[in-house]
A and B are shown apart, each in its own frame.
Chain A
């Protein structure tokens, strides 16, 4: 319960950054923080107390295992996050080349 709430607080810190920061770099980092919080929350929901990792090994009896399904989904999510981060970084570089700034209010002023 406390852990879920702390994870939600981490998500809200990322949302605060997206809403209030005027710097594109800070906005990209905030989106990364929101992704971390979401991935962590999915794995929290699948944790079973006293269980081991969901991998069989030779000569070991079968024990209770944690939920492997959220882990599989988060594994793909992490790699997608890396691709989207690279895409955002290239967009930011393009904006910097055109406007010579990372401040989104200035970018808006120049285009209008």
Chain B
């Protein structure tokens, strides 16, 4: 199923080329509207990971390694936790407590509202999406070595 490194047929590749951006857009929508509608950083992050996984299934592992910079992805994933901590520490100086909500609350039902919650949602989305994709990429990379045994 996922074994073919050269990828699947041209129909699958064409559909993937169109649909992967729509899936990523849907994931970004779920993440950004996390404080208004069901969803949030966890659900949207998994959607983005599944979009990248779609590319890896259709085009194969080698193409995906050329298309994405995995070292950069690893750095972004690790630094998002640090940014989460930095935003939390900013809450001490600006809001009076660790992880305090120091930005303006805005109006209810607006996109730019709820202070610091959308920022945390975006950070969690980046973290969950990239780390889950990296796990699957590692598991996919390790199996061909076994079959040589």
Contact = CB atoms under 8 A, between A and B. Distances in A.
Given A55-B38, A89-B139, A93-B139, A79 B128 contact: yes
B135 A56 contact: no
Nearest to B131: A83
A96 B42 contact: no
B37 A55 contact: yes
Interface string A72-86: 000110110011001
B37 A90 contact: no
B37 A75 contact: no
Interface residues of B, number: 16
A96 B146 CA distance: 9
Contact of A82 (B37, B38, B132): B132
B109 A93 contact: no
Interface in A82-111: 82-83, 86, 89-90, 93, 96-97, 100
Interface string B38-54: 10101000000000000
B146 A97 contact: yes
A75 B139 contact: no
